[in-house]
Chains A and B, each alone.
Chain A
């Protein structure tokens, strides 16, 4: 009974997957896997946060077909990504390319991380310095003396 339930749940997902990907035929399994990978990392230009694989938009359907055509033409994965980039820009790639417009996107976090380390180090340094300065030797000696007296 349990197995049947799980089977049904699986089937639900299976149909969702099949519905979103056109039944394209490929000469070999390898190319089909490459197609799947490519439409997984290309973003649908119309629907703001879905990849080509997961979108039902007309443009996503056309672009999936275009990716297939380019694969059949013997284009490499990189050439296909460039093809899309030349037409749809940074938006279409989930891993944006490195150029002036995306430099902050790539290295901004590193910059913030380095800044955090610098600030952290300077705080530690300052604290050490201020602790050292605050020890008043005479005051300390007086406290120790008083304490010694108490013990006597």
Chain B
């Protein structure tokens, strides 16, 4: 009886096979994604959120989103409690020396510690905003530090990098994007 079952003639038997392959393809893709902890940004190609925050160096000076306009810039979320921020600091310093504007977002930090940290390790940033309650960080969808955003000259978020900016990240991801944006604005 089994020998007589029409295995190939019955076209509907191909369906489970197709389902299996589509499921296999789906799982293959989801298991080979870079890292499940890297969340895509909701804010790509949207304007940088509005904010009114104190400048880290002078509490009387209030910074807002207009301070980011006019040039392609990096916005770097950092804090003294963030160990990895120290690792990327020399790279950011080199990037700033290369003529890229870097704005610091000092995230949930102690003012004195933050200033001491900059004194000790150097301050390559154009300026820092002090986000002591994490409100701007929440508006940016930030959930840790370090994170780095690329903002174009009209204040639109063009890229988000989660984690340490290494020389490789700079050379392969950030620098090409900045170059592209500058080419467009030039």
Q: Is B186 an interface residue (CB 8 A)?
A: no
Whether A88 lies near B39 (C-beta < 8 A) is yes
**Chain B contacts for A76, CB-based, 8 A:** none
Interface of A is mostly: helix
Residue among A85, A87, A126, A134 facing the most chain B CB atoms (10 A cut-off): A87
| Distance of A114 from chain B, by nearest CB (Å) | 11
A59, closest chain B residue (CB): B143
Give residues in A with beta carbon < 8 Å to B.
45-46, 48, 57-59, 62-63, 65-66, 85-89, 91, 112, 115, 118-119, 122, 126, 130, 134
Interface of B is mostly: loop
CB within 8 Å for A122 and B12 given contacts A87-B140, A89-B42: yes
Q: Is B163 an interface residue (CB 8 A)?
A: no
Q: How many residues of B contact A (CB 8 A)?
A: 28
Whether B15 lies near A118 (C-beta < 8 A) is yes
Alpha-carbon separation in the docked complex, A87 to B49 (Å): 10
In B28-54, which residues have CB < 8 Å from any A CB? 36-37, 39-43
Whether A130 lies near B39 (C-beta < 8 A) is no
Whether A130 lies near B5 (C-beta < 8 A) is yes
